[in-house]
Structure 1
């Protein structure tokens, strides 16, 4: 595995050998201007909500007792996740594990890597709505994962959790164009590393925790 250090306080990834800061998946998407007007809807409150929900799902997968959390303000999201897991029976091999690709000079932390019915999967939990860039985000995660499995052999799934506890909605992104866009934005940004960033949420976690995105849904199999 490529040596990378992730600082949860600053949300920065640096190489262990020389401390060089590495661009993240979210930064790549932001610099390409793909977040669009959705960025203005991100707030500290929505970021904290997303972090809390993600942590609850992580603790559940680690086998902790989550009875109290399920009765809390955000318990419906966890119940939504649990119902999906019970129905689909995923097997996770990595939970919130930082990934780094020296080849693509990009780092990030996909929420889950594992298998569903024996097929390799990269999955990202979403506590907000669908957005047009989610397929590209998952493609970037596939490109930087530390595995002998070719990136395009991974199923790329975004799991949209529901606040009311109903089973989460999974959307599988299958378009090869997502990979083309992901590789193109990496290549472009490596050629112009000093290009200014587009507007972005103040919280630079490598996932999205905002309300339903203004960019709207995309067809996963387009």
Structure 2
């Protein structure tokens, strides 16, 4: 049989976007939710997904590559959605408080919506906290990259509050991001603090309540 007619050896390459990759991504995310990156091995991820051990290297190159793929499927889209919302907010008129509310909404609304999606819920909880702490260097650098991507928001706040120093703007934005973290990664705490009388599942209600609180902080005199 000629080389041209000979069937290719080995497995046929799988497509870039396929169920095999998704099974591995979901399995890894479930395991990383409760255990550290270093504790979970490729064999365990493959077994959790019901696949052969070599599938991870075949699809992603390594465990690090799999983790990159987990983050890359959410964080860039989230950043783009935030910036699109900011562009709209900056075209809106109104009082300073109204414009502030628009900027804060553009910052928070996308991440709140993403964190309530079934496929992303685990991502915004313990999983993301763990891998940023003990994952590969590339993932630990992700936090710095996310912060740098917020510079347009920092600049928008500075333009809205020219009387505040860069340090004051930084502190206020830092507090806003701390609230965001609590809303996306500490949902059970709210349930416990209110003896089960409330939750943050209603994104719009949670957003408006958070914005009311944040606006008071932004309008408070700087020290």
More strand by share: 1
Indicate the structure (1 or 2) with the bigger Cα radius of gyration.
2
TM-score (norm 1): 0.24
TM-score (norm 2): 0.24
Higher RCO (C-alpha 8 Å, min separation 6): 1
More helix by share: 2
